[in-house]
Amino acid sequence: MSSQPERPIHDVEIGGPGGARTVFLHGLFGQGKNFTQAAKALEPDLDSLLVDLPNHGRSRWTESVDYVHVADAVAAHLREGFAADGPVHVVGHSMGGKVAMVLALRHPDLVGRLVVVDISPSRNAGTGEFEHLLDSLARLDLDAVERRADADRLLATDIPDERVRGFLLQNLRSADGGFRWQANLALLRAELPTIGGFPDAAELGDGTFDHPVLWLAGERSPYIRPEHDATMRALFPRTRLVTIKGAGHWVHSEQPEAFVSALRVFLTA
């Protein structure tokens, strides 16, 4: 059982006045702080808001996962603070990219430019990887974990990639003399079909977002495919697709310099 944070949506701001105000939305298992390196590299050009989406990081848990509800909650949060004075740019990766797309479609007055990182407005065929990761974390006996290194060792058989384990273990927090998962793993596992999907057209407002959109794909990632192009451009007619060489799904961590360069060019144009 997680002790609930006091804020429905937690965020951290990096940068200051004068930079292009930009919101970063992370993917599944992530947290806003995953973009800290990029946000610092983009100073002073960007004033960045790193958001923890519901059921992740320091934001509250919910009883279900719904992209429309999440996007509307983020919109309300931004209107009360970071976007109170006008539109902001939005960058979303993977699950956060879907939230960002729904946010732009339902609240176009809030979004200046949109960056969608390695995801499309389509149903993902490859959720099996995430099923495996979530099941592996659920099997971990937290009572046997006395230090973070223990968790890393116990997960090594199921998740041999050290980089992936390190990313996932950012969700492990010490509490009451032991450890707990900060992310709502049980709900995320149960809602994977929803996370892998995308809302119907009737839920997406007026149907299109007619502002500039940068669509970033990882060269080695399967999440953006040629058959997704027509759907993407029907919703976002001013889309420009850029492929980041040498990157898989986690574009911002695998090719950080290319990621930062692409954002700086697009968001400060």
**Res. 5: pLDDT tops 70:** no
The three-state secondary structure class of 40 is helix
Write down the residue that tokens 């502002």 correspond to: 211
Average the pLDDT over 59-63 and give the result. Answer: 94
Percent of the chain whose pLDDT exceeds 70: 96
27-51: pLDDT as tens digits: 999 999 999 999 999 999 999 999 9
- pLDDT of res. 64: 94
pTM of the predicted structure, to 2 decimals: 0.93
How many whole angstroms separate alpha carbon 124 and alpha carbon 148?
32
Q: Percent of the chain, pLDDT > 90?
A: 83
Q: How far is CA 200 from the centre of its chain?
A: 20
Q: What is the pLDDT of residue 207?
A: 82
What is the per-residue pLDDT across 137-157, written as a single tens digit (0 to 9) for each? 999 999 989 999 999 999 999
Cα gap 104→94, rounded to integer Å:
15
Q: What is the pLDDT of residue 1?
A: 37
According to CATH, what is the number of the domain 10-124+197-267? 3.40.50.1820
- Least Cα distance to 136 among 161, 163, 150, 154 occurs for 154
Query: Where along the chain do the CATH 3.40.50.1820 domains lie?
Result: 10-124+197-267
Average pLDDT over residues 214-243: 95
| Tens-place pLDDT, residues 117-126 | 999 998 875 5
